[in-house]
């Protein structure tokens, strides 16, 4: 034999040896078939083990005889395809083992040619475990979606690696969209957030993902197809890989617009009940306000020449007017309320306002004290609702002390991680503010203590209480992510502890106060004053004239429009009341804008709620002035509006 033939023979031997080792060590089943007879001529150990037969069981059999193909006809058809294409494949074939179990296998068969010699190799992979895993995953996902649908109106699934968001079918029904109108990207979510909340929500989500948190939750506004916004309760759970990196968020959101609307109506009804409870005290305070004004005016008429005495009387009258205006403002603010306006609240101011309302309404034998530290953290919440919580607790405390006693308001900071020491609840990294309302009254009997937060449950006599006071407290505190504890002992008083999350940074919830500098005088500009109250027109006219302005007056909107139409070139500004007969303020402003689109207008009203201010601005007002106001405030705003550049007309 020539040297090169010997080398070739040795190489083939080594190749066959390597193949044999791979054949025997493979973790897939391998069958070798003769193309002519279609019979099995070899089988590897894994295939023998997989089916539980002996090696001899396979040799000389056709595929259909060991159960791989359905029958002999299928076996022959497979061979014809193999001869034509050189390969056949089945992704899922049933195969029965010796002990009767049925497994699923992936089958691939190839025809190999080596010169005149041909052989068929069949590779068989057991995919039963994979199929079970896939089925379990599908079942798990179906279960998740069913459960999520049961607890949420809308289910969502966000792949953090691709930024793709899947929305459940409920999304279309809840927000009014049609099929195909919602893109799968994250923009389909964030673009529908309310502009005022966009930054805070997106930052909060990413902070939760980056901080290692398990979940994220928030109430926010979400745009519907109609353009209106629904109030939704949104919660997502963060799934992480082995390294702790967030890879997916799954969750759901629920439309709570109607629920919040019902709560708002309930709270407003509660406020009206509270106003009724305090009506006697409010009337008492108003009478005390009016008494020095009435008597002071009589004294001014009796002693016109005594200047020092006149000035003292005027100072007293002015102080009484300011006190009355402040009382009316507090009562109106509380009665109207501005629900769902979440701002940073300083409890010192809120408790001072509450004491101002209840001070004259509660019995004189009841002492009100407070302990509020200067470094108390702010809370983020709805001031009107927190005010309602404190008022309800104060009224309950008053009723528990018919013979008199002490009502105490206390507040303190609870640092992150320290809540458990107070309540047994873990707080993690969250800080809390603790508000306590305590009385020295009768206490709550143990047998009713568990029911005090139930709606309509009351221990008061019929006609003296609705049973909604403490239910309102519980609802409001829960909606602010807080909770309530009660300590009480019969005969020794009750202490309600309200835990509310602290703001992340101190903010001032109040508007800046106006400075004390004197306003600049007028430059002989002509002002049109419109008001149906003669006394208001006259005092406004006298005030403006005293500060260097010329004034025209009108008793209603129609008269004002007629006057302005004749003197549009000389009238520099219109000061109009919002509530008037014949033609009200908004109608008057719209008519004036039709005459002169650049006319400067200040709307005036005794109701300075956000809704009324927005109504004035939409009707065409450049600014808004609340009544009553001081002369400095009036002329200061007039000067400021006159000095502004005239808005360009598009």
Q: How far apart are CA 26 and CA 593, in angstroms?
A: 89
Which residues on neighbouring strands pair with residue 114, listed in sequence order? 117
User: 243-273, pLDDT tens digit by residue?
Assistant: 888 888 888 888 888 877 776 666 666 666 6
| Cβ-contact 225, 175 below 8 angstroms | yes
pLDDT band at 459 (very low <50, low <70, confident <90, very high): low
Tell me which CATH homologous superfamily contains domain 526-643: Response regulator (3.40.50.2300)
More confident residue, 514 or 4: 4
Residue 300 CB coordination number (10 Å): 15
pLDDT band at 648 (very low <50, low <70, confident <90, very high): very low
CATH 3.40.50.720 fits 3-126, yes or no: no
Does residue 548 sit in helix, strand or coil? coil
**pLDDT at 510 exceeding the cut of 50:** no
Length of the chain: 650
Predicted pLDDT at 557: 92
196: which residues sit within 8 A by CB, 6+ positions away?
Answer: none
**pLDDT at 486 exceeding the cut of 60:** yes
Among the residue ranges 418-432, 488-502, 584-598, 616-630, the one predicted with the least confidence is 418-432
Phi-psi region of 60 (alpha: psi -120 to 50; beta: other; left: phi over 0): left
CATH 3.30.420.40 fits 262-501, yes or no: no
User: 226-237, pLDDT tens digit by residue?
Assistant: 888 888 888 888
Predicted pLDDT at 645: 79
Q: Buried b vs exposed e over 45-80: b needs ≥16 C-beta within 10 Å? A: ebbbebbebeeebbeebbbbebebbeeeeebeebbe
Q: Buried b vs exposed e over 93-130: b needs ≥16 C-beta within 10 Å? A: bebeeeeeeebbbbbebebeeeeeeeebebbbebbeee
Q: How far apart are CA 33 and CA 12, in angstroms?
A: 21
| Cβ-contact 218, 232 below 8 angstroms | no
User: 342-369, pLDDT tens digit by residue?
Assistant: 677 888 888 887 787 777 668 888 899 9
Among the residue ranges 276-285, 322-331, 549-558, 629-638, the one predicted with the least confidence is 276-285
For 132-255, the fitting CATH number among 3.40.630.10, 3.30.450.20, 3.40.50.880, 3.40.50.300 is 3.30.450.20
**H/E stretch holding 604:** strand 601-605
Which residues on neighbouring strands pair with residue 573, listed in sequence order? 527
| Cβ-contact 216, 208 below 8 angstroms | yes
| Cβ-contact 66, 94 below 8 angstroms | no
User: 81-102, pLDDT tens digit by residue?
Assistant: 777 777 888 888 888 888 878 8
Q: Where would I find the H helices in 113-197?
A: 128-151, 170-175, 187-190
Query: For the chain, which residues make up each domain, given as ranges?
Result: 3-126, 132-255, 262-501, 526-643
The answer to whether domain 3-126 and domain 132-255 are alike in fold is yes
| Cβ-contact 105, 126 below 8 angstroms | yes
Predicted pLDDT at 463: 47
């Amino acid at each position: 034999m020539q040297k090169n033939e010997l080398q070739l023979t040795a190489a083939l031997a080594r190749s066959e040896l390597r193949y044999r080792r791979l054949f025997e060590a493979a973790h897939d089943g391998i069958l070798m078939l003769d193309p002519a007879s279609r019979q099995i001529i070899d089988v590897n150990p894994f295939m023998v083990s997989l089916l539980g037969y002996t090696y001899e069981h396979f040799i000389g059999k056709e595929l259909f005889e060991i159960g791989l193909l359905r029958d002999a006809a299928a076996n022959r058809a497979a061979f014809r395809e193999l001869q034509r294409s050189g390969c056949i494949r089945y992704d899922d074939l049933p195969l029965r083992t010796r002990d009767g179990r049925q497994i699923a296998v992936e089958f691939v068969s190839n025809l190999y040619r080596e010169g005149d010699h041909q052989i068929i190799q069949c590779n068989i992979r057991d995919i039963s475990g994979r199929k079970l895993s896939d089925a379990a995953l599908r079942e798990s996902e179906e279960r998740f979606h069913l459960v999520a649908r049961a607890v949420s109106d809308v289910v969502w699934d966000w792949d953090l690696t691709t930024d793709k968001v899947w929305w459940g079918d409920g999304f279309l029904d809840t927000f009014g969209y049609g099929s195909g109108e919602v893109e799968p990207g994250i923009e389909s979510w964030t673009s529908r957030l309310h502009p005022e909340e966009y930054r805070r929500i997106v930052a909060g989500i990413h902070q939760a993902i980056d901080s290692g948190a398990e979940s994220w939750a928030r109430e926010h506004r979400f745009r519907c197809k109609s353009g209106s916004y629904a109030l939704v309760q949104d919660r997502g759970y963060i799934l992480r890989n082995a390294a702790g990196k967030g890879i997916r968020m799954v969750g759901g959101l629920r439309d709570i617009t109607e629920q919040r609307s019902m709560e708002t109506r309930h709270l407003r009804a509660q406020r009206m009940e509270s106003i009724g409870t305090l009506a006697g005290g409010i009337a008492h305070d108003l009478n005390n306000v009016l008494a020095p004004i009435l008597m002071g005016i009589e004294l001014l008429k009796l002693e016109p020449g005594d200047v020092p005495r006149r000035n003292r009387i005027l100072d007293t009258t002015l102080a009484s007017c300011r006190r009355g205006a402040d009382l009316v403002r507090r009562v109106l603010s509380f009665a109207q309320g501005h629900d769902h306006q979440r701002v940073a609240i300083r409890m010192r101011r809120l408790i001072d306002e509450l004491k101002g309302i209840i001070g004259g309404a509660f019995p004189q034998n009841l002492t009100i004290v407070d302990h509020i530290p200067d470094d108390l953290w702010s809370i983020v919440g709805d001031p009107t609702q927190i005010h309602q919580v404190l008022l309800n607790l104060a009224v309950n405390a008053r009723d528990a002390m018919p013979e008199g006693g002490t009502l105490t308001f206390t507040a303190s900071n609870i640092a992150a991680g320290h809540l458990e020491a107070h309540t047994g609840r873990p707080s993690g990294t969250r800080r809390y503010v603790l508000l306590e309302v305590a009385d020295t009254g009768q206490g709550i009997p143990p047998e009713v203590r568990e029911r005090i937060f139930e709606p309509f449950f009351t221990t008061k006599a019929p006609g003296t209480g609705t049973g909604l006071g403490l239910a309102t407290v519980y609802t409001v505190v829960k909606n602010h992510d807080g909770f309530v504890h009660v300590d009480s002992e019969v005969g020794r008083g009750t202490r309600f502890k309200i835990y509310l999350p602290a703001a992340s940074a101190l903010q001032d919830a109040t508007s800046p106060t106006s400075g004390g500098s004197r306003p600049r005088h007028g430059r002989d500009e002509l002002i049109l004053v419109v008001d149906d109250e003669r006394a208001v027109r006259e005092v406004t006219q006298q005030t403006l004239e005293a500060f260097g302005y010329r004034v025209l007056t009108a008793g209603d909107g129609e008269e004002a429009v007629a006057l302005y139409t004749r003197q549009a070139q000389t009238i520099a500004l219109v000061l109009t009341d919002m509530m008037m007969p014949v033609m009200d303020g908004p109608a008057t402003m719209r008519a004036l804008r039709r005459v002169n689109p650049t006319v400067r207008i200040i709307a005036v009203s005794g109701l300075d709620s956000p809704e009324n201010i927005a109504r004035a601005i939409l009707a065409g007002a450049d600014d808004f002035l609340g009544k009553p106001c001081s002369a400095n405030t009036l002329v200061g705003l007039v000067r400021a509006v006159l000095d502004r550049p005239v808005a360009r007309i598009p």
